[in-house]
Amino acid sequence: MYRLGGETVEQVGPDKRNSGTDSRLSCAVIPLGTAARVRQRRKIEEIGEALARAGYTSLDAQARVLGLSRSTTWTVLAGVHKSSGLSAGTVNRMLSTGRLPHEAHGKLLEYVADKVSGLYGDRRHRLKIFAAKIDPGHLEAALRPRDAAR
């Protein structure tokens, strides 16, 4: 472990795609529990908690209301998704179902607003790509001041 740009990182084994090269040149760098990623994971957990409070406690019910497959729903709500968070496509599917409980819908819009603002530590070019892929109506709703969105 070492510090890189103010962030604690861990150097892990050789990149399998470059198995024939010197491992010192092909090691991946993985952030270790940055505050931004923890905040992102927590927001996604809040979406699952909102679903449970609305009575959607089974995986089947959660998948149906989110408009996702069971496996994708489990991956999202169990917190085993990639560290970059929810993809724009997944977010669009969830927001487009029309079946999301009000609280879960609000949490998902908060997630979009926080992600686009860079709160989760993404690089600027990745944020632009994410924002460009979010449905314009959803993006507008997410960026609307909180009092006006209610």
The CA distance from 55 to 41, in Å, is 22
In the predicted structure, residue 112 carries a pLDDT above the cut 50: yes
Q: How far is CA 89 from the centre of its chain?
A: 11
Residue 21 pLDDT = 39
pTM of structure: 0.74
- The tens digit of pLDDT for each residue in 59-78 reads 999 999 999 999 999 999 98
The CA distance from 112 to 59, in Å, is 23
The CA distance from 54 to 104, in Å, is 9
